[in-house]
């Protein structure tokens, strides 16, 4: 299965450390938002208006206590369907 075929509610994993690019409120640029291998769930899926072929996902990743965190915007290459 291809990442772009996934839908809301599907489980994914962070393919690498996902860091803040400076767009997350109350975070520092470069701060790790989801560590590589973290499990998450897709809560929204869309695309960039200027490039409709570029999928973007909002994912809520679990923290150490298995609590879902706030949604994080991710590109397909940030995600994996298999735990790393």
Pick the CATH number of 3-80 from 2.30.30, 2.40.128, 2.60.40, 3.90.320: 2.30.30
Bridge-based pairing state of the strands 79-80 and 11-14: antiparallel
Phi/psi at 41 (nearest 5 deg)? -130, 135
Tokens 């999928």 map to which residue? 55
Per-residue model confidence as pLDDT tens digits over 10-49: 999 999 999 988 888 888 888 999 999 999 999 999 998 8
For the chain, the structural domain boundaries read 3-80
Residue 69 pLDDT class (50, 70, 90 cuts)? very high
71: pLDDT strictly greater than 90: yes
Cα–Cα distance for residue pair 16/61, rounded to 1 Å:
13
* CA end-to-end span of the chain: 16
Cα–Cα distance for residue pair 25/2, rounded to 1 Å:
31
13 three-class SS: strand
């Amino acid at each position: 299965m291809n990442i772009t075929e996934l839908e809301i509610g599907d489980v994914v994993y962070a393919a690498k450390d996902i860091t803040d690019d400076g767009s997350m409120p109350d975070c520092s640029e470069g701060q790790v938002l989801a560590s590589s291998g973290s499990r998450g769930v897709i809560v929204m899926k869309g695309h960039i208006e200027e490039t409709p072929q570029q999928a973007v996902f909002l994912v809520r990743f679990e923290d150490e206590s298995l609590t879902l965190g706030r949604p994080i915007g991710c590109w397909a290459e940030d995600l994996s369907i298999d735990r790393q």
